Amino acid sequence: MNDLLFELAVPAHFELAACLEYMNRSPLECLFRPDAEGVERLFMIEGEPLLIRLTMPGDPPRRLRASLLYGSVPEDAALAGLVRYIVEWFDLDRDLAPFYRMAREDELLAPLLAANDGLRIIGIPDLFEALCWAILGQQVNLAFAYKLKQQLTARYGQSLEWQGYTYYSFPVPEVFREVTVEELCALQLTRNKARTVLEVAGLIGGGLLSRDELLALPAPEAAEQRLLQIRGIGPWTSQYVRMRCLRDATSFPAGDVGLQNAVKFLTGMDRKPTPAELVDLSARWRGWEAYATFYLWRALY
């Protein structure tokens, strides 16, 4: 089966190849499967698995095509939700022209534009997944964060085996209702991470926290404050979620050690810049801090 599901027009400054290069950064990524031409991802729609492949065929390729590899064509509402997910995943409805105009003149960003032309912030549209990914990534190296995510997903998520490969979807918050901190610690989460994951699962599963609610707040800063009320979620995590899930282009995780290392490397500093120095530096990226960050991260890999 390889049915056309839908096609989307893509904006200027979008290159699937650049996005795939980013998505391919870790062989331990378990929630999607990128290759040279496209990416595959498992969705669970009303309990039914749906395996999708995204490509950009044609020459010149100007449309993003979603093909159905496994499952049955969803009904209109579910299909619309899937389209929305793809748009948010690749940040397709954002006009990047202003960012490119600014970044082309920027000493630090210009070389990164050239090397990553058409890269967009790869989003994590699902709030629970985004929060968990951020929590798992606190204070550990990325390889280990991917390992934690893989173990959590394999244990509590759903999967589909198709043509010899196992695809996974991230667990929904509800499955953690009876899960204990000890069970998560067995997956190598620290007690703090385990407690925070369960706390967030309870809030989202209980209807006390949602992406829509955060987006409905008057300002991104308000969403950040809401997330900061949760024990185990600090400035970095909430800024990260603003950037990857709430799609706030102005979010700037100044405390991010990856960002610090990228700036150190690109400027030739003999030490990492302090968060305060990064905030000062980011003034010239105003309005596009999250995109600057995402591109700066690319200097590390």
**Residues catalogued as catalytic:** 256
Between 10 and 131, CB nearer to DNA: 131
Q: Is 240 in the site for DNA (CB under 7 A)?
A: yes
Q: Could you say which of 72, 141, 166, 225 contacts DNA (CB under 7 A)?
A: 141
Q: Could you say which of 131, 160, 233, 296 contacts DNA (CB under 7 A)?
A: 233
Give residue 193's identity as a one-letter amino acid code: K
Q: Is 261 in the site for DNA (CB under 7 A)?
A: yes
Cβ burial, residue 203 (10 Å; 0-12/13-18/19+): middle
Cβ-contact 119, 295 below 8 angstroms:
yes
- List phi, psi (to 5°) of 115: -80, -20
- List phi, psi (to 5°) of 41: -150, 140
Which residues 36-95 are close enough to bind DNA by CB under 7 A?
Answer: none
Q: Is 186 in the site for DNA (CB under 7 A)?
A: no
Count H helices and E strands in the chain, helices first.
14, 7
Q: Could you say which of 102, 140, 172, 215 contacts DNA (CB under 7 A)?
A: 140
CB of 149 to DNA, least distance (A): 11
Question: What's the DSSP call for residue 70?
Answer: E
Q: Could you say which of 181, 190, 202, 205 contacts DNA (CB under 7 A)?
A: 190
Q: Which stretch binds DNA (CB under 7 A): 1-9, 99-107, 137-145, 283-291?
A: 137-145
Pairwise CA distance, residues 282 & 270, whole Å: 20
Q: Is 143 in the site for DNA (CB under 7 A)?
A: yes
CB of 141 to DNA, least distance (A): 4
How many chain residues interact with DNA (CB under 7 A)? 33
Q: Which stretch binds DNA (CB under 7 A): 65-73, 88-96, 149-157, 183-191?
A: 183-191
Between 158 and 192, CB nearer to DNA: 192
Q: Is 236 in the site for DNA (CB under 7 A)?
A: yes
Q: Is 231 in the site for DNA (CB under 7 A)?
A: yes
User: What is the pairing mode between strands 48-55 and 63-70?
Assistant: antiparallel
Cβ burial, residue 50 (10 Å; 0-12/13-18/19+): buried
Instruction: Give the distance from CA 13 to its chain's centroid.
Output: 19
Q: Which stretch binds DNA (CB under 7 A): 48-56, 59-67, 164-172, 238-246?
A: 238-246
Cβ-contact 54, 64 below 8 angstroms:
yes
Q: Is 274 in the site for DNA (CB under 7 A)?
A: no
Longest CA pairwise span in the chain (Å): 57
Give residue 126's identity as a one-letter amino acid code: D
Residue 3 in 3-state DSSP? strand
Residues interacting with DNA, by CB under 7 A? 25, 134, 137-144, 147, 185, 188, 190-192, 230-238, 240, 244, 255-258, 261, 297
